[in-house]
Amino acid sequence: MIYKNTVRIFARMKMNFVTAIFLLGILSCGTNTSQSTASAISAPEQDVVLVLDPDASDSNISWDKTVHDFGDVSVEDGPLSCTFTITNNGSEPVAIFEVVSSCGCTDVKWTREPLMPGKSGTISATYKNEDGPTAFDKTLTVYISGVKKPVVLRLRGVVHEKKKSLSQLFGAQKLGDFGIKTRELKLGTLRQGLSASESVTVANLGSRPLTVSFADVSQQLSLTVTPNPIPAGATANLTYTVAADPSLYGRNAYFATPVLNGSKAAGSLSVMAFTQENFAAWSESERENAAIPMFENSTVSFGVVSAGSHITASFTCKNRGKAPLHIYKADSEDPALTLTADIPDISAGNSSTIDFSLDTSLLAKGDCVIMLSLTTNSPLRPVVNLFVTGEIR
């Protein structure tokens, strides 16, 4: 009887959830998408990564994985399938309400009955592989009872017209027999107090097993290779993890040098991550009384200038919140744009300028767009992107 009542409760909750999603879709379709630059752009372009965030999941459930990488496949391989396993580690039943695919190119099935304590269920996904040669990165958004935020699963890979050799796939930036597609790895967003991980496929291009370790590793970075050693002519998974450092905000690079069968490689790997403040533990009162940065303009145009010109200008920011605004770091995407003064804290209700200079002698002629990213202590706008534009002749 208890089990039947549980099933009925989950069924009613699922119906309410699906109805809410339907209504939300209608409202979203009717929303005016013409937004100002200031409101439409609030964070730097970032890859989606697995963030080890206790507020984004639930300790009562666990996954065998949240990313499935099909690696390099071909058109002739046809549909690509994988399975994710979820386990209920709690003392109460849980249910998967809904799984929403990011596009119609991915079919999905999941365990419909509630998962009793200690039991597992599955989510099976099939990427149709009908788009021809292309890289793909699809998401499955999973809504689970008792979990505050949906869990995002990823399916990714690269589809080629025809099968390619390991040397063709991984030889472009190889270090000895260690094959890798790029030495500049991206991690995306990292929140203070947490860690974030990502993985890539690497290869052993040699004729004997390759044992991989790392030297000169940045303090916050860790890397593992599985399997290790990598069999001759085979691939492996390189997982890299960065733990947030309280002294580092904004865009930062982390480095490591591969050591191959005991010999240090003649080159290093870099990992780029963007660190933001973590507001997960903030109370509702702290959020309501936090700083709110508002800019008169999110774009400053210097018009048309001659190559070699030095330009000085500023953005004006007003703090419309109730607490002081602190800007942890300002990241320019081009070294030609630099700040001319430190950015002071801005008290509630007050304004300040962010002064910068632009050395056009470091830029190519033509249209110019440079982004300046500010990392702040505002939960509403943890990252603010500003733009400097113009034409250099």
How is 109-169 classified by DSSP, letter by letter? EE--S-B-TT-EEEEEEEE---S-SEEEEEEEEEEETT-SS-EEEEEEEEEESS---HHHH
Structure confidence at residue 72 (pLDDT): 87
Would the pLDDT of 294 be above 80? Answer: yes
Give percent above pLDDT 70 in the chain.
85
Top-level CATH class of 284-392? mainly beta
Nearest to 91 by CA among 68, 123, 58: 58
Structure confidence at residue 58 (pLDDT): 58
231 Cβ contact list (under 8 Å, min separation 6): 204, 209
pLDDT band at 13 (very low <50, low <70, confident <90, very high): very low
Please provide the CATH number assigned to the domain covering 185-276: 2.60.40.10
107 Cβ contact list (under 8 Å, min separation 6): 101, 125, 126, 128
Would the pLDDT of 54 be above 50? Answer: no
Report CA 43 to chain centroid distance, whole Å: 11
The CATH T-level fold of domain 54-164 is: Immunoglobulin-like (2.60.40)
- Sorted by where each begins, the domain ranges of the chain are 54-164, 185-276, 284-392
Q: What is the pLDDT of residues 325-345, one digit of tens each?
A: 999 999 999 999 999 999 999
Read off φ and ψ for residue 305, nearest 5 degrees: -130, 165
> Is-same-fold flag (54-164; 284-392)?
yes
- Number of residues assigned to the chain: 393
Would the pLDDT of 143 be above 80? Answer: yes
CB-hemisphere CA count at 13 Å for 271? 29
Q: What is the mean pLDDT of the chain?
A: 86
